[in-house]
């Protein structure tokens, strides 16, 4: 998926929904943040986590926001413009320009599943964390990311096309093995599943439906069918039978 388009703007709004805040809170807590630390956020998007981290590590600490998308970095810079302990990199996670052990910890929220060569990314992330430092990474179990309410046949087709939006559909299930292989210990997964029944215009499902619609049309589903799917969502919500389910998973591990 390309985040340098209008999808980037929708994604930044999704990061500010209640569900987005919940993910950041869980990630923040898992990092065991302390004043003076150096922390890297891989795939920082609009910089919401960067801001919380920068205020926490204080003037002695340093936060690095990394994202290959110019548009995301620009948004993150704006969000953190009053903070002088945040710097930015447009590297890909697969090739980091930082020294070995440069960071006390690394965070990454809903990013790793979009990286085809995830093993290179995990090797690089391990290399830049000091021994004993932490990784806290959230990825989604995409096979369980689901809208409920529209006609099942059309709904299935819409979900089928969305599989192409990222490289790793069920990454959390693969993370413990990968992390052990790349030099981490104590890998642990915490599911953060949720059900949201609302399609108000700042709800996670409403914004997710916008992304889904954009992607389905790009994948060749006819505009009229996508429109009909949207109308069926609204109808289901009015009838009290709409639901959106997702299972993001927080994986934590320690650099050996």
User: Residue 15 or residue 250: which is nearer to ligand SAM going by CB?
Assistant: 15
* Residue of 17, 85, 105, 110 interacting with ligand SAM (CB under 6 A): 110
- Rounded to a whole number of angstroms, the minimum distance from the CB of residue 220 to ligand SAM is 23
| Cβ proximity to ligand SAM, 15 vs 122, nearer residue | 15
Binds ligand SAM (CB under 6 A): choice among 75, 109, 136, 233 = 109
CB 144 within 8 A of CB 246: yes
Q: How far apart are CA 53 and CA 35, in angstroms?
A: 10
CA distance 19 to 15: 8
Instruction: List for the chain the helix, strand, coil content (%; round to 5).
Output: 45, 25, 30
DSSP state letter for 98: S
- 114 touching ligand SAM, by CB under 6 A: yes
Q: Does 112 bind ligand SAM (CB under 6 A)?
A: no
Q: Which residues contact 95 (CB under 8 A, 6 or more apart)?
A: 120, 124
Of 65-73, 188-196, 198-206, 212-220, the window that binds ligand SAM (rule: CB under 6 A) is 65-73
Q: For binding to ligand SAM (CB under 6 A), which residues are involved?
A: 3, 11, 15, 42-46, 48, 66-69, 72, 92-94, 109-111, 114-115
């Amino acid at each position: 998926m390309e985040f340098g388009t209008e999808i980037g703007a929708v994604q930044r709004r999704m990061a500010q929904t209640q569900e987005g805040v919940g993910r950041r809170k869980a990630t923040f807590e898992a990092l065991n943040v302390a004043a003076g630390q150096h922390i890297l956020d891989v795939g920082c998007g609009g910089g919401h986590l960067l801001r919380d981290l920068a205020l926490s590590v204080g003037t002695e600490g340093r936060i690095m926001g990394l994202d290959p998308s110019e548009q995301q970095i620009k948004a993150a810079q704006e969000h953190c413009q009053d903070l002088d302990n945040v710097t930015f990199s447009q590297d890909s996670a697969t090739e980091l320009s930082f020294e070995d052990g440069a960071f006390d910890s690394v965070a990454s929220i809903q990013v790793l599943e979009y990286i085809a060569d995830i093993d290179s990314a995990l090797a690089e992330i391990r290399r830049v964390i000091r021994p004993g430092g932490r990784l806290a990474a959230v990825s989604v179990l995409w096979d369980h990311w689901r809208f409920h309410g529209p006609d099942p046949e059309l709904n299935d087709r819409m979900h089928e096309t969305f599989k192409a939006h990222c490289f790793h559909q069920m990454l959390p299930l693969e993370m413990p093995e990968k992390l052990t292989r790349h030099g981490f210990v104590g890998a642990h997964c915490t599911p953060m599943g949720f059900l949201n029944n609302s399609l108000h215009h700042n709800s996670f499902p409403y914004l997710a439906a916008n992304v889904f619609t954009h992607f389905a049309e790009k994948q060749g589903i006819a505009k009229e069918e996508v429109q009909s799917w949207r109308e069926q969502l609204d109808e289901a919500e009015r009838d009290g039978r709409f639901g959106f389910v997702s299972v993001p998973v927080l994986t934590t591990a320690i650099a050996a």
